[in-house]
Amino acid sequence: MFPLQRGRRLRVNESIRSLVRETTLSPSDFMFPMFIMEGENAKVEIPSMPGIFRRTLDLTVEEVKELYALGIRAVNIYVKVNDNLKDNTGKEAWNENGLMQNAIRAIKKACPEMIVMPDVALDPYSIYGHDGIIENGDIANDATNNALVKMAVSHAQAGADFVAPSDMMDGRVLRLRQGLDEAGFHNVGIMSYSAKYASAFYGPFRDALDSAPREADIVVPKDKKTYQMDYANRIEAVKEALWDVEEGADMVMVKPGIAYLDIVREVKNAVNVPVTVFHVSGEYAMIKAASERGWLDHDKIMMEQLMCIKRAGASLISTYFAKEAAIILNK
């Protein structure tokens, strides 16, 4: 009856614990989401995301160099588009001299080895704040896909390593793969937001880009629930991920992160490509707010959550904590 197995033998001290640790983190596990705005030598902190800034292109490039020096090897970039450039077609999204295209070129010139994954969705360019073109009061799936192909090809022409469609239109991965290949960009990959849920955790992100759905002079969907996933669903996430792999996705993403670790594991078990997890703005903001009040230990909670995401099956973690976590890991 006396226990022959004692789990505590493997927990006696940190040296033993490190020998048998099943999951480890390194800076190369992280991708840093970056917000870019027009102008020069300026950065604006996002009130709901302490420590995260919209930066002009010159300061973005300097930040990228710092990230690379810390061991971070990928950035996911988003642009704050001026209101006068927004419409219902999203045509600014494939302007070869647009902010996104200029940002890709500048980052790749300054830091060629940094992997650049620009966001592919129309919401930053839409006067209605939606990820697609509005027709007859709804998102026009196929017309939106046509626009996304133009957008992705323009990113590839600027030097993007991967395109990252976050729009959740049906069939867009296949259309993007076909469009990239036809344009000669066979080696530009697709990291698809496959299981992107209609989540309230995105609030601070939408503050950063001014990309929330807004009232309009025509009938528009009041939210993004007709294309982003219902957070009550699990099997649907696996189905969406498998479809995207069949259509040519090189990586798939689950978004949000911590609240969806069951989905991460389900998707990881189902697909044969790397799984990215987005540790989103609301999850970041909650840790920042609680730690500012002294309710949580910031660094310990940050590292625990990132480790849990990796343990659940993430090959890559897109997180606003990437820089802070990399500094700790490098110590």
Rounded (5°) CA angle 134-188-171:
35
Q: Is residue 289's pLDDT more than 90?
A: yes
pLDDT of 193 reads 97
Q: Identify the DSSP state of 167.
A: S
Q: How far is CA 320 from CA 8, 40, 42, 57, 197, in A?
A: 35, 23, 19, 18, 19
Alpha helices by DSSP H, 46-202: 57-69, 99-110, 141-158, 172-182
CATH class of the domain at 27-330: alpha beta
Band (pLDDT 50/70/90 cuts) for residue 4 is confident
> Rounded mean pLDDT of 192-212?
85
Map out the domains of the chain as residue ranges: 27-330
Q: How far is CA 170 from CA 86, 142, 194, 261, 262, in A?
A: 24, 8, 10, 24, 23
213 close to 224: Cβ distance less than 8 angstroms:
yes
pLDDT of 1 reads 64
Q: State how far the Cα of 202 lies from the Cα of 283, in Å rounded to an integer.
A: 9
pTM of the complete model: 0.94
- Across all residues in the chain, what is the average pLDDT? 95
Q: Is residue 11's pLDDT more than 90?
A: yes
| Structure confidence by residue, pLDDT tens digits, 100-127 | 999 999 999 999 999 999 999 999 999 9
Q: State how far the Cα of 103 lies from the Cα of 107, in Å rounded to an integer.
A: 6
Side-chain half-sphere exposure of 102, counting CA atoms within 13 A: 15
pLDDT of 214 reads 62
- What percent of the chain is modeled with pLDDT above 90? 91
One-letter amino acid for residue 257 of the chain: G
Phi-psi region of 39 (alpha: psi -120 to 50; beta: other; left: phi over 0): left
224 close to 231: Cβ distance less than 8 angstroms:
no
pLDDT of 219 reads 72
DSSP string, 281-327: HHHHHHHHHHHHTTSS-HHHHHHHHHHHHHHHT-SEEEETTHHHHHH
pLDDT of 324 reads 98
Give the Cβ contact number of residue 220 at 10 Å.
19
pLDDT of 220 reads 82
Q: Is residue 305's pLDDT more than 90?
A: yes
DSSP string, 219-274: ---SSSTTTSBPTT-SHHHHHHHHHHHHHT-SEEEEES-GGGHHHHHHHHHH-SS-
Band (pLDDT 50/70/90 cuts) for residue 238 is very high
Residues that are catalytic: 196, 255
Nearest to 148 by CA among 205, 116, 192, 184: 192
pLDDT of 159 reads 98
Rounded (5°) CA angle 22-254-73:
65
Is the model more confident about 49 or about 2? 49
pLDDT of 121 reads 96
Q: Is residue 218's pLDDT more than 80?
A: no
Q: Is residue 211's pLDDT more than 80?
A: no
Q: Is residue 149's pLDDT more than 90?
A: yes
> Rounded mean pLDDT of 151-155?
98
Phi-psi region of 179 (alpha: psi -120 to 50; beta: other; left: phi over 0): alpha
Nearest to 118 by CA among 169, 142, 154: 154
Band (pLDDT 50/70/90 cuts) for residue 62 is very high
Q: Is residue 248's pLDDT more than 90?
A: yes
Q: Which residues are annotated as a binding site for Mg(2+)?
A: 240
Q: State how far the Cα of 197 lies from the Cα of 225, in Å rounded to an integer.
A: 8
